[in-house]
Amino acid sequence: MVRPGAAVIAVERLATTWALFQALLVEAMPFLLIGVALSTLARWISPGGKWVRDLPAHPLLGPLSGAALGFALPACECGNVPMARHLLVKGAPIATALGFLFAAPVLNPIVLASTWAAFPDQPWLLAARPLGALLIAVCLATLLRLLPEHELLQPALLEERRLSQPLGEVTLLERRSGLIGVPAGAAVPALGGSSRRPPLGQVLSHGGSEFLELALLLVMGCAIAALVQTVVPRQWLIAVGGTPTLSILSLMLLSLVVSVCSSVDAFLALGFAAQVTPGAVLAFLLLGPVMDLKLVGLFGILLRPRAILLTAGAASLVVLLIGQWVNLLLL
């Protein structure tokens, strides 16, 4: 027999979970819509995607140029996923597309302005956040481009990427399989996507299907994040805020759990900045835009599970090292 007190607690937790789920979804959905809209617009304006294939494939310039696109395409990490998918489909170099995927959620005017508004008296943080995002993007792009494309990208995405190549370069069988002898990380050669502008109705239909697919994954991610937040109160994670290493690890875990968009995460960090170390605050602002619970499902349309795990592990290690270095300098 369930005690009345236990029933009340269960109802309260359910209400809290529902409220958190709605907040996360309402916060993230507009940016997802913006990302799909930009991807759809690019597909209609530039159907051949020549400008995408002209992006640099250099191991360093590629991720940096992809990150720089964030200034022109202001969206949080949810909105960047459909744009990164568009870049990959149109034949952008792997390093460039990954640089955009991982750095653009921080390197855009909205996020930079919100960080300045939340921490106007901490100029080191205003510089460290974009520089840290660039470093993470370069490290992740360099690591992931070592994987062959068929081990990095999802089969459906890889097939779309290969179908834009002319038959003079690959056979029909290779186009369908995606198993083409292109060196890992190399730019896709001589892509030959049609330059004819498709009918607007067809483009809108494709964009609508893409939005529904991503929205379903986002709903699942937000539900998981809300449930985890209810089970693991954030006060437990902030309780170890005074310890240099544990504070970084706790805030990294908090960024994974709360799954807040990069456009507003600075204001959330402001609420507990005085209770934790400087490196922990920076770690919170760096890891969330790269990996959190709601992003795992969205990444599933781009990357294979092994690549997602590799991304999570490498990003966590780089963020931990950055946070430790900041604590050594400022504490």
The strand pairing partners of 153, in sequence order, are 303
Cβ within 8 Å of residue 176, ≥6 positions away: 159, 162
What pLDDT is attached to residue 327? 92
What pLDDT is attached to residue 182? 44
Cβ within 8 Å of residue 288, ≥6 positions away: 77, 255, 256, 258, 259, 260, 262, 265
| Among 259, 266, 251, 250, residue whose Cα is nearest residue 295 | 259
> What is the spatial distance between Cα 127 and Cα 143, in angstroms, rounded to a whole number?
25
Q: The whole model's pTM is what?
A: 0.75
> What is the spatial distance between Cα 174 and Cα 181, in angstroms, rounded to a whole number?
9
List the domain boundaries for the chain: 12-178+201-330
What share of the chain in percent tops pLDDT 90?
A: 23
For the stretch 88-136, pLDDT in tens is 888 888 999 999 999 988 888 878 888 888 888 888 999 999 999 999 9
> What is the spatial distance between Cα 121 and Cα 271, in angstroms, rounded to a whole number?
15
Do residues 87 and 97 touch, judged by C-beta distance below 8 A?
yes
Mean pLDDT of the chain, nearest integer: 78
Measure Cα distances from 163 to 8, 89, 174, 280 in Å: 56, 9, 9, 45
